[in-house]
Structure 1
Amino acid sequence: MNILMALSQLEVTGAEVYATTVGNELTRRGHNVFYVSDTLTKPTQGPVFKLRFNKRSILRRFWHVFYLIYLIKRHHIQLVHAHSRASGWSSYVACKLTGTPMITTVHGRQPVHASRKAFHALGYRAVAVCEDIAHQIINNLGVDPAKVQVLRNGIETDKFQPVAAPENPKPVIAIIGRLSGPKGELCYRLLDEVLDLEACQVLVVSGTQVPERFARFKEKAEFVGYVDDVPTLLAGCDLVIGAGRVAMEALLCGRPAFAIGEAKAIGLVDESNLDEALASNFGDIGPQDLAIDFAALKPQVVSALASKGVSEQLRQRIQQEYGLQEVVTGLESIYQDAVVETLRREMPVIMYHRFIEHESEKGVHGTWLPVAMFEKHLKLMKWLGYETLTFRDLADKGFIHRLQYGKKYLMITVDDGYRDNLTRMLPLLEKYGYKAVVYIVTGEDHNRWDVAHPTHPDKPVSLMNADEIRMLGASEHIEIGGHTLTHPRLSKLAPEQQAHEIRANKQRLEQLLGHSLVSFAYPYGDLNDDAKAQASSAGYRYAVATNSGPRAMHQDPLQIRRIAIFPRTDVFGLWRKIRGNYVFRK
C-alpha cells in the first residue's frame, strides 16, 4: 500500500518515534511509506515532506489541505495515518475531499472543547496507545466506541536486551523526555524537589533546547541532549525516570523504571502495578488526571534505587504487549478495515462448480456453467485488467497484498472437484494466464449428495480420480484445497464427525499432492463455530463459505465470503459481481 504518515511537531516526540518505527517496518514489508511533518529527526526509509502544521492561521490551514491533496494525488496515497491534532484536522479535510481512507493514532490526552466534541477529525478509526486514552476520547469527546481501538506502541524489542546492573561510583538516574510543556514542568520539579543531585549523578536526556529556567541545575545535573544509542544509555543507569516508550525500553533492558507522566506518578514499575502502567501509558494519561504529590516521590525514588533489576516475567509481558511485529500486523488489519469500509470495495472471491459443453449435461441444482460462457468470463476479466490470487499467495504475502496500488485482483474458486475442471477449465486458465483454487471431495466418485437429494435428485457427474487430482494439482495455475470426504452439511454433524470429514480429506489430498494445503471450503457454505474450530485445528489457515462472513475478507480468515456464479451469470452479470462493491450492495 501507499501510506502517508502525517505528524505535527517541532521536536522529537513519542509520536515521531512511533510513526517512524512502524513506518520503517511497513516499508520492510513492502509498503511505500511517506512522511509529512514540521520536522522529523528519526531516520526513515521513505521520503519526508515538510509542512508547517504548527502554523494554524486560516490561510495556513487552507495551504495544509491543498498540499496534502497534492501529496495524495501525486503519490497515489491509499491511506493517511495521522498522529496529532494539527495534522489530523488538515488530513481529515484533505481525505474527505479526495475520498482517501484515514486513521489517527492518539498518543496523548486530547483537549476538551466544543469544536473538538463536534468535529473529531479522527477518520475511520481512532487508535489509542493505551486504555485510558481510549476512555478519555470516548467519555470526554463523545467518540463512538466502535471507532476506537487500543493498539500499543511498537518497539523493536530485539534492540533492547537485558543487561547486568552497572557498578557506578554513585547511582545514575536518567530523566528522559521533553523539556517543554507539561513534561518540562515534570522534569523541573523532579530536579528541584525530588532528586538528591549531590548523592546521585542525574542525566537529563532530551532533544529540546534547554530552557533558561533550567540553568540553575547545570552545575549539578548533566544535560546530555538528544541520544541516538538509547540502549547503551539505559544500560548505564541505575534508575530511569519517564513515561511512555521511555519506561517500556528501560524495562526491556532490565533497568528499573520509575513511571511518571502528565497524569500521575505510578512509581517503580513491577508486577503489582504493571496493568495500571499499561493502561495509562506509564503515567501519561488517566481517566481523570491527578495532581502529583512530589513530596511523596522522594522516598519512593530512594527505595526504587535499591532495585537492581527487572524480573524476566515483567520483561516478557512488555515484549508481548509492545512487540513491533504484532503491533504492525495489527495496524495492517486496521488499514484494511479502513480501505475496504471507506471505499466499500473488496477483492471478489467468485465460486464456480462444473463446466458443460452440451445441453444434456445441465443439472437440477444450478451448479453448472457452459464452458463457452466461462471463456467469455475470462476474456472480460482480462479486458478489465484483473489478475488472480490464490490463498497460497495470501499466505506468502499477507491479506493486505490484495490492496496493492495499481492492481486489480480477484480470486477464482471451484468446488467439488469435477473431472471437467481438468479437461475443460484448466486449458482455459492456461490460455488466459489465470489461477484458480479447486476444492476437492475425496470420499466419493460422483456427486452423490445431489443424486441422493430427497426432493430434487440430480444426475450423476464424475469427480476426478487420484491420478486426475495429481495432474490438476501439478499445474502452476491450480491450488488444491479441502472440501470434506462426502460433502455433508457440517453444522448437522457432531464435532468428532466434522473432524473426521475435514481431516481425512486433507490427509488424502496431501498424500496425493505431496505438500500441505492452506485452504478449505465448507460444503454448501454451511458451518458453525465447531466446524470453524475443526478447520483451524486441522491446520487450515483459510476457509471459505458462500454468502456468510464479514464483507472484508481479512476480518475472519476462517469464514471468507464468496460470490456464487450461476448458469445465468452472463458477461454483464459477472461484471456486476467482480466490480468490488457487490457484497456491499447485496
Structure 2
Amino acid sequence: MNILMALSQLEVTGAEVYATTLGDELNRRGHRVFYVSDTLTKPHQGQFFRLRFNKRSIPRRFWHVGYLIYLIKKHRIQLVHAHSRASSWSCYVACKLTGTPMITSVHGRQPVHASRKKFHALGDRALAVCEAVRDQLISALGVEPGLIAIGRNGIDTRHYQPVPAPVNERPVISIVGRLSGPKGELCYRLLDQCLDTDRYRVQVASGSELPERFRRFQDKVEFLGYVRDVPGLMATSDLVIGAGRVAMESILMGRPTFAIGEASAPGLVTPDNIDAAMAGNFGDIGPMDLDIDFAALPDRIATALACQGTAPAVMTKVRSNYDLVAVADELEQHYQSVYVHRLRREVPIVMYHRFIRDDSEKGIHGTYLHVNMLEKHFKLLKRLGYRTLTFADLADQGLASRLTPDSKYIIITVDDGYRDNYELLFPLLKKYGFKAVIYLVTGERFNRWDVEQPGNPEKRVELMTPEQIKEMADSGLVEFGGHTLTHPHLDTLSREEQRREIADNKAQLEQLLGRPLASFAYPFGSHNEDSKALARELGYPFAVATNSGPLAMHEDPYQIRRIAIFPRTDVFGLWRKIKGDYVFRKNK
C-alpha cells in the first residue's frame, strides 16, 4: 500500500519516533511510506515533504489541504495516517475531498471544546496509544467506542536487550525527553526540586534547543542534546527517568525505570504497577495534567536507585505488548479494514466446480459451467487487466499485498478436483497465463458425496488421477489445497472425525506434491469452530468457506468468503461479481 504519515512538530517527538519506526517496518514489508511534517529529524526510509502544519491561519489551512490533495494524487496514496491534531484536521478535509481512507493515532490528551466535540477529524479509525487516551476520547469528546482501537507504540525490541548494571563512581540518572511544553516544565521541576546534583550525576538527553531558564543548571547537569544512541545512554545509567517510549525502551534493557510524565508519576515500574503504567503511557496521559506530588519524589527516586534492575515479568509484559512486529501486524489489520470497508472493495475470490463440453454432461446440482463460457470469462478477465493470485502468494507476501496500488487481482478457486479440471480448465490456464487454486478430495475416486445423496442423486463424475495432479502442480499455474478425504459436512462430525478428514487429506496431498499446502476449503462451506481451529492447528495459513465470513478476507483468514459461479453466470454476470463491491452490495 502507499501510505502517507502526517505529523505536525517543530522538534523530535515520540510521535515522530512512533511514525518512522513503524514506517520503516512497513517499508520492509513492501509498502511505500511517505511523510509530511513541519520537520523530520529521525533517519527514515521514504520521501519526506515539508509542510508547516503549525502555521494555522485560515489561508494556511487551505494551503495545507491543497498540498495534501496534490500529494495524495501524485503518489497514489491509498491511506493517510495522521499523528497530531494539527495534521489530522487538514488530512481529514483532504481525505474527504479525495475519498481517501484515513487513520489517526492519538498520542495524548485532546483539548475539550465545543468544536472539537462536533468535529473530531479522526478519520475512519482512531488508534489511541493507551487506555487513558481511549477513555478520554469517549468520555470527554463523545467519540464512538467502535471508532477507537488501542495502537501501542512499536519498538524494535532487537535493539533493546538486557544489559548488566553499570559501575559508576556516582549514581547516573538519565532524563530523556523534550525541554519544551509540559514535558519541559516537568524536567525543570525535577532538576529544581527533586534531584540532588551533588549526590547524583544527572544527564539530560533532548532534541530541544536548550531553553534559557535551563541554563542555570548547566554547571551541575549534563545537557547532551539529541542522542542517536539512546540504548548506549541507557546502558550506562543507574536510573532512567522518562515516559512513553523512553520508559518502555529502558525497561527492555533491564534498567531501573522511573516512569513520570506530564500527567502522573507511576514511579519505579514493577510487576505491581505495570498495568496501570501502561494504561497511562507510563505517566504521559491521565485524567488531568501534572497530577504529581513533587515533594515525595526525592525519596521515591532514591528508593528506585537502590533497585538493581527491572523485574523479568515487567520486561516480558512490555516486550509482548510493544514488539514492533506484533504492533505492525495489528496496524496492517487496521489499514486493510479501513481501506476495504471505506472503499467497499475487496479482491474477488470466485468459486467454480466442474466444466462440461456439451449438455449431456450437465449435472443436477448446478455446479458446472460450459467450457466455452469459461473461456469467455477468461477473455473478460484478460481484457479488464486482472492478474491472478493464489493463497501461497498471500502466505509469502502477506494479505495486505493484495491491495498493491494499480493492480487488479482475482483469485480463481475450483472445488473437488474433477477430471475435467485437467482436461478443460488446465489448457485455458496455460493459454491465458492464469493461476488457479484447486481443492482436492483424496479419499474418493468419484463424487460419491453427491451420487449417494438420497432423494437427489447426482451423476457420477471421475476425479483427477495423481499423475494429472502432479503435472498441473509442476506447471506453476495450479496451486492445490485440501478438501478432506470424503467431502462430508464437517459441522456434523466430532472433532476427532474432523481431524482425520482434514489431517489425512493434507498429509496425502503434501506427500504427492512435495510441498506444504497454503489453504483448505470446507466441503459445502459447512464448518464450525472446531473446523476452523483444526485448520489452524494443522498448519493451514488460510481456509475458505462459501458465502459466509467477513466481507474483508483478512478479518478472518479461516473463514474467507467466496463468490459462487453458476451455469447461468454469463460474461455480464461475471463482471458484476468481480467488480470488487459485489459482496458489499449483496450483504447490505
TM-score, scaled to structure 1? 0.99
Alpha-carbon distance, 1:326 to partner:
1.0
Corresponding position of 2:309: 309
Task: Give the whole-Å Cα distance in 2 for the aligned partners of 1:287 and 1:509.
Answer: 58
In structure 1, what is the equivalent of residue 21 of structure 2?
21
1:174 aligns with 2:174: yes
Question: Over residues 465-516 of structure 1, what are the superposed CA-to-partner deviations in whole Å (9 max), with x where a residue is unaligned?
Answer: 2222222222210000000111111111111111111111111111211111
Whether contact under 8 Å (2:269, 2:310) holds in the other structure is no
Q: Identify the residue that residue 135 of structure 1 maps to in structure 2.
A: 135
Amino acid at match of 2:535: A
Determine the structure 2 residue equivalent to 1:464: 464
Q: Is the 8 A contact 1:179 1:210 kept in 2?
A: yes
Distance 2:175 2:231 in 1: 14
Counterpart for residue 329 of structure 1: 329
Residue 218 of structure 2: aligned partner:
218
Superposition deviation, residue 108 in structure 1: 0.8
Q: Which residue of 2 aligns with 1:154?
A: 154
Residues 263-312 of structure 1: CA deviation (Å, up to 9, x unaligned): 11000011111111111110111245562100011100011111121233
Aligned to 2:476: 476
Alignment of 1:122-521 (within 5 A): 122-289=122-289, 291-521=291-521
Q: In structure 1, how many angstroms separate the alpha carbons of the residues matched to 2:539 and 2:142?
A: 43
CA distance in 1, matches of 2:299, 2:226: 29
**Partner in structure 2 of residue 570 of structure 1:** 570
Partner deviation per Cα, 1:19-46 (whole Å, 9 max, x = no partner)? 0111111111111111000011001111
Q: Corresponding residue for 1:72?
A: 72
Give the letter aligned to residue 75 of structure 1: H
Aligned position for 1:524 = 524
User: Which residue in 2 is equivalent to 1:554?
Assistant: 554
SS at match of 2:208: coil
Tell me whether 494-503 or 403-412 shows the greater mean CA deviation: 494-503
Query: Structure 1, residues 311-337: CA drift from partner, whole Å, max 9, x if none?
Result: 333222221111111111111111101
- Measured in 2, the distance between the counterparts of 1:64 and 1:446 equals 65
- C-alpha deviation, 1:168, in angstroms: 1.0
Shift in Å, 1:142: 1.0
The SS at the match of 2:266 is strand
Other-structure match for 1:58: 58
Q: Is the 1:101–1:124 contact (alpha carbons within 8 Å) kept by the matching residues of 2?
A: yes
Query: Deviations for 1:84-120, whole angstroms, at most 9, x for unmatched residues?
Result: 0000000000000000011011111111111111111
**Whole-Å separation in 1 of the counterparts to 2:135 and 2:288:** 10
Aligned partner of residue 488 in structure 1, secondary structure: coil
* CA deviation map 1:389-429 (0-9, x unaligned): 00000000000000001100010000000001111101100
Distance (Å, rounded) in 1 between the aligned partners of 2:38 and 2:380: 48
Identify which range, 123-132 or 349-358, moves more after superposition.
123-132
Task: Give the partner amino acid of 2:357.
Answer: E
Q: CA deviation at 1:162?
A: 1.5
2-structure distance, mates of 1:130, 1:174: 24
Q: Tell whether the 8 Å contact from 1:38 to 1:52 is kept in structure 2 after alignment.
A: yes
CA distance in 1, matches of 2:458, 2:156: 59
Identity %: 66
Q: Look up the match of 1:89.
A: 89
CA gap 1:460/1:287 in 2 versus in 1, 3 angstroms = farther
How many corresponding residue pairs? 586
Which whole-Å deviations, capped at 9, do the CAs of 1:445-466 have from their partners, x for residues lacking one? 1111211222321111111122
Distance in 1 (CA, whole Å) between partners of 2:520 and 2:28 is 30
Query: Using the alignment, how far apart are the partners of 1:540 and 1:309 within structure 2?
Result: 42
Structure 2 counterpart of 1:566, one-letter code:
F
Equivalent position SS for 1:175: strand
> Helix, strand or coil for the counterpart of 2:4?
strand
**8 A Cα contact 1:108 1:284, kept in partner:** yes
SS at match of 1:584: helix
1:117 matches 2:117: yes
Deviations 1:422-443 (A, max 9, x none): 1110110010000000001111
- Which blocks of at least 5 consecutive residues in structure 2 are unaligned? none
The answer to whether the aligner puts 1:36 opposite 2:36 as a matched pair is yes
**Distance in 1 of aligned mates of 2:80 and 2:66:** 15
Moved more, 222-231 or 305-314: 305-314
Task: Give me the whole-angstrom Cα distance separating, in 1, the residues matched to 2:330 and 2:231.
Answer: 26
1:363-405 deviation digits (Å, cap 9, x = unpaired): 1111000000000000000000000000000000000000001
- d(CA) in 1 for partners of 2:422 and 2:509? 16
Partner-residue secondary structure (3-state), 2:80: strand
RMSD (CA atoms):
1.0
State the alpha-carbon separation in 2 of the partners of residues 276 and 312 from structure 1: 17
Q: Distance in 1 between matches of 2:369 and 2:575?
A: 16
Cα deviations by residue, 1:135-178 (Å, 9 ceiling, x for unpaired): 11111111111111112101111111221111111111111111
Tell me which moved more, 165-174 or 367-376: 165-174
| Aligned AA (2:320) | Q
Once the two structures are superposed, residues 57-98 of structure 1 have per-residue CA deviations (whole angstroms, 9 ceiling, x without a partner) of 111000000000000001110110000000000000000000
Correspondence 1:45 to 2:45: yes
8 Å Cα contact 1:103/1:127 also seen in 2: yes
CA contact (8 A) 1:135 1:287 kept: no
Distance 2:291 2:445 in 1: 76
TM norm structure 2: 0.98
Deviates more, 1:564-573 or 1:172-181: 172-181
Structure 1 distance, partners of 2:580, 2:555, is 17
Per-residue deviation, residues 179-202 of structure 1 (Å, max 9, x unmatched): 111111111111111111111111
CA distance in 1: counterparts of 2:310 and 2:363, whole angstroms:
70
Q: CA contact under 8 A between 1:268 and 1:304: conserved in structure 2?
A: yes
Amino acid at match of 2:285: I
AA in 1 matched with 2:256: P
Give 3-state SS (helix, strand or coil) of 1:438's partner: strand
Question: Would the aligned equivalents of 2:237 and 2:255 in 1 still touch at CA under 8 Å?
Answer: yes
Quick check: 104-113 or 85-94, which moved more? 104-113
